[in-house]
């Protein structure tokens, strides 16, 4: 079972890019972030006609997440628990069943800039709610994949120029500490485990400005976290870097993990 995450940065602007990647990469499950549309604006019928099961948690103009699956989507849940006043569409989760059942939770974690400020306070509060929810998912004792755009640069090697990010909400010490509190519950970073001794990158995001892509001035903020049961099933993981060089690309590229499931 190949499970992928892709911050598409506006699905209506990049349906062609998304469709081309799906055709080339052939994931079984794809979670999307920043679809930037309400549910009715998502091209659900288009993908259902191509054989996908589709679930959408949209929001007008901002945020929004979705899940496309070749396998039936079961036990769908939308939104991060812990704050009934939070109306931002940032989490979608469900169970899919291949050879075994796998719980998939896709997230779009708040950016948090400018920091300090209310947006950063929201980011840290959201991360604490995610920590509690992640602990609850681990208690399921089924293979679980927590993936998406975390808007967190975990370590200096996850940025081409870490010195440029020291005052940014993605790299502040409080942000990285909050991320570690989640990972240290017992999650495995699928991309990092493939090459734990890498000293630079790999990256998943390149800004549209300042020739960031051409200069490989990137950061790694899209992550795949595996529960112990999922890590035991891991066959491979990767980053589809070449997608960033395509026509009208997102500023993110897909990340994926393959499980023997």
pLDDT, tens only, 225-251: 999 999 999 999 999 999 999 999 999
The catalytic residues are: 108, 149, 252
Domain boundaries, the chain: 2-259
What is the DSSP code string of 70-130?
SSPPEEEEES-TT-TT-----EEEEEEESSSEEEEEEEE-----SSSSHHHHHHHHHHHHH
Backbone angles phi, psi at 162, to 5 degrees: -60, -25
pLDDT in tens, 244-260: 999 999 999 999 999 99
What pLDDT does 160 receive? Answer: 98
Percentage of the chain beyond pLDDT 90 is: 99
What pLDDT does 252 receive? Answer: 98
Binding residues for Mg(2+): 7, 34, 149, 151, 251-252
pLDDT in tens, 124-175: 999 999 999 999 999 988 999 999 999 999 999 999 999 999 999 999 999 9
Percentage of the chain beyond pLDDT 70 is: 100
**CA–CA dist 142, 136 (Å, integer):** 12
pLDDT in tens, 178-226: 999 999 999 999 999 998 999 999 999 999 999 999 999 999 999 999 9
Q: What is the CATH number of domain 2-259?
A: 3.60.10.10
What pLDDT does 203 receive? Answer: 98
């Amino acid at each position: 079972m190949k499970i992928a995450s892709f911050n598409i940065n506006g699905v209506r602007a990049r349906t062609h890019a998304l469709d081309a990647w799906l055709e080339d990469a052939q994931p079984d499950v794809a979670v999307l972030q920043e679809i930037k549309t309400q549910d009715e604006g998502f091209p659900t019928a288009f993908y259902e006609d191509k054989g996908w099961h589709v679930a959408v948690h949209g929001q007008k103009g901002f945020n929004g997440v979705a899940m496309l699956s070749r396998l039936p989507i079961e036990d769908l849940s939308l939104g991060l628990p812990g704050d009934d006043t939070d109306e931002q569409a940032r989490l979608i989760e469900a169970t899919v069943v291949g050879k075994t059942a796998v719980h998939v939770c896709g997230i779009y974690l708040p950016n948090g800039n400018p920091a300090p400020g209310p947006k950063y306070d929201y980011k840290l509060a959201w991360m604490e709610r995610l920590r509690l929810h992640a602990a609850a998912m681990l208690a399921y004792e089924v293979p679980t994949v927590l993936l998406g755009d975390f808007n967190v640069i975990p370590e200096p090697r996850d940025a081409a120029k870490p010195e440029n990010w020291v005052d940014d909400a993605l790299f502040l010490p409080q942000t990285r500490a909050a991320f570690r509190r989640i990972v240290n519950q017992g999650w495995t970073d699928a991309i990092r485990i493939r090459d734990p001794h890498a000293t630079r990158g790999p990256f998943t995001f390149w800004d549209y400005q300042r020739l960031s892509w051409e200069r490989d001035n990137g950061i790694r903020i899209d992550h795949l976290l595996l529960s112990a049961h999922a890590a035991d099933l891991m066959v491979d993981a990767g980053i589809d870097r070449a997608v960033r060089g395509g026509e009208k690309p997102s500023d993110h590229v897909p990340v994926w993990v393959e499980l023997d499931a």
